[in-house]
Structures are given as structure tokens and as C-alpha cells.
Amino acid sequence: MSLPPLPSQPADVAWPTQDWPRGEPSAQVDMARLETVLARALTDQPTADLGETHAVLIVQGGRLIVERYGPGRGPDQSLTSWSMAKSITQALVGMLVGDGLLDIHAPADVPEWRAPGDPRGAITLDLLLRMSSGLAFVEDYVPDHPSDVIEMLWGSGKDDVARYAANKPLEHPPGAFWYYSSGTTNIVSRCAARALGAQGADFQAFMRERLFEPLGMTSASPKFDPAGTFIGSSFCFCTARDFARFGTLYLRDGMWEGRRLLPAGWVDYARTKTWQQPNDDGPYGAHWWLDTAGPGSFNALGFGGQFIVVVPDLDMVVVRNGDTPLAQAPNTKAWIKDVVDCFR
């Protein structure tokens, strides 16, 4: 199945590196419906179906056309990424691929897997990015349930998140089973650091020089573990406007102000479907989710209902930040689709 084309920045619209160009929704937008959908989320008190919504931004044609905030929030408020950071990690890997420092189809550089005969040694970065490594990992956020992600981020694994995840055994042959795992991303993050030969502050300098500063993401605040690994599974705080800048980079096929920041084909790689056994989570690409806002859309997604949604056929990016209870998570996906459908 062919991917929908990614639109270029309109020639008469400035890139949002310094400030976001402003615009108004076109006459084709169902504004009455859009206002109703937004009002469902942007309330003074948490709602039963969506919880709290802290920010909603809609960018179309390179212009910021909707920007709304919940009580006590505003454009300068730093917001959590949770697993939207996984898609930021994917961008960093792409830059290193473009530099010739990483080969996603080669066995991943993971010291814990080097013993002769270790079947984990066959795991590639591609399989890791597609959540298809086969490594055991319990991704559970319910209190009192067994949870590797909680143990990794706040328990025995917190001092070296990648080592914790890499020490997990194989549960399935590599490539034979899809399972979403935050541990996987932290292994990828350490592979990126090892390829660059930089950890901690040095790796953060790379992030700023190659990604954040070119885009104008001045608020970006990535978090590192004591071992110096970017916790790419979960922690890169930003304003909603900066999350929208990151989404725009992918909408523009990795181009920014005439410069190619991501290698040619990297965004298409992100939005190409991974083989998955039947599951309830929806289609997945390479560290990006797919089709949440309709066929051809792709999105970064974080716990609690954090979204950066890229909609190529509408030349659109939608950002939603908030705090939605886990049981209501499907409601945020449906709400995002309702927002986008107002433009169709």
C-alpha cells in the first residue's frame, strides 16, 4: 500500500523556528462541530471520558490556527511527553543513520547480547524500532500489577534503564511477535549514544545542535539516567508549541528551512506498517503509531493522552496534552479523530 505524499511548506508561510505563523480555519471547516468537540475537552473540571486536557494546538498549512489551554496552563507551560519521547528517539537514530554511524539492519550494539550463541545477538535496530525484538517486557501501568516499565523507570532499573531492559530474556524469536515495550526504546537510545560516542551532557548537546535548535524547540528538556542514557522511552518535556514543531518536521519529510535534518526516506520508514499479530493497540510503524486520525495519519503517543498527530492529506499537525486515566485512553483517540474529521 502506497503512503500518502508529505506536503511541502507553503512558499508564502514562514517556518515556525522563531514564532508560529498564525492563520484561521478555512471556510470548509465545520467550525460549529469543531467548537463542540473542543468544548468537550477544555473544561474547568476533569471530565468522565477525557480527564484533564491541558493544551490543544492545530497547525494547518504551516500556520497555527487553533491554540487552546486548560485552566492554569499557557503557551510557556512545559508539558510531559511520556512516550512521545519514543518518536523523538526515532528522529535521533535517523540522524545517526544519515551520518553513517548506524545501520538499522545490522545486529544492534548491545554488550549484554555478545556471548557466543546468545540468540539476542540477532536482534537488529530495525526490530527494536518496530517493537518486534521478542524480548520479554511487561508494559503495565496498573498499580500493584507486575510491571517492568515501572521497575525500570522508578525501581531497580532506574540507574541504568538500558541495561535493565537489555538483560531481559527472549520470549519470542526476533521478528516473530510484536509487543510494545518502553524498555526497547531505552536500548535503542543507548545504541545511539554508543554510535555517537557521547553520553549524558555530550549526548544532550547533540540533541540540541541537531534537532532542538534548528527547529526552535527552546523548551525541550530531555532527562537522563545516572548511567548517562537519554530516557528516550518517556522523558522529554516541551511546550505544546515545541511538540507541534517536532510534528511539523515529520509532516515536512524531515526538511526544515531548506535543510534536510532527517535522511531521505526516514519519515516514510517511520510510517510504514510493521507486521503485527492481531492486537487491540492499532497499527504501528517504527516508533510511531499509525492511522489514529484516519488512514495515512501517524502519531507520537504518550501515557495519559499525549498526542502529536501528523495528517499528510490535510497538511495538519494536532497536539493534545493532558491527563486522561488509563481506562479512558480509547476516548482520547476517538476525540482526536473527531477533531480531525471536522476538517474533512
Give the confidence band of 82 by pLDDT, cuts at 50, 70, 90.
very high
Domain ranges of the chain: 31-79+239-341, 87-195
At 24, list the grid cell: 484561521
Give the confidence band of 142 by pLDDT, cuts at 50, 70, 90.
confident
SS3 310: strand
Q: Where are the alpha helices (DSSP H) in the chain?
A: 31-41, 84-98, 125-129, 148-154, 161-166, 182-196, 200-207, 213-215, 240-251, 266-270, 329-341
Query: Region 214-232: what's the mean pLDDT?
Result: 98
Q: Which CATH superfamily is domain 31-79+239-341 in?
A: DD-peptidase/beta-lactamase superfamily (3.40.710.10)
Residue with cell string 504518550: 302
Give the confidence band of 1 by pLDDT, cuts at 50, 70, 90.
low
User: pLDDT exceeding 90 applies to what percent of the chain?
Assistant: 97
Domains 31-79+239-341 and 87-195 share a fold: yes
- E strands within 14-130? 52-60, 63-69
Residue range 199-212, pLDDT digits in tens: 999 999 999 999 99
Query: In this predicted structure, what is the pLDDT of residue 143?
Result: 79
Asked if 6 and 253 touch (Cβ cutoff 8 Å), the reply is yes
Nearest alpha-carbon partner for 185 in 147, 227, 152: 152
107 burial type by CB count under 10 A (0-12 exposed, 13-18 middle, 19+ buried): middle
Could you tell me the pTM of the whole model? 0.98
Residue range 301-339, pLDDT digits in tens: 999 999 999 999 999 999 999 999 999 999 999 999 999
Query: Region 10-36: what's the mean pLDDT?
Result: 96
Euclidean distance between CA atoms 255 and 267, whole angstroms: 10
In this structure, which amino acid lies at residue 168?
A: K
Report strand pairing: 289-290 vs 298-302: antiparallel
What is the DSSP track for 126-160?
Answer: HHHHTT-S-B------STTS--HHHHHHHSTTTT-
Nearest alpha-carbon partner for 58 in 267, 293, 289, 324: 293
The domain defined by 87-195 folds into Beta-lactamase (3.40.710)
pLDDT of 72 higher than 70: yes
Sequence-ordered list of residues with C-beta below 8 angstroms from that of 180, at least 6 positions apart, any chain: 131, 139, 281, 284
Give the confidence band of 144 by pLDDT, cuts at 50, 70, 90.
confident
Residue range 102-133, pLDDT digits in tens: 999 999 999 999 999 999 999 999 999 999 99
Give the confidence band of 64 by pLDDT, cuts at 50, 70, 90.
very high
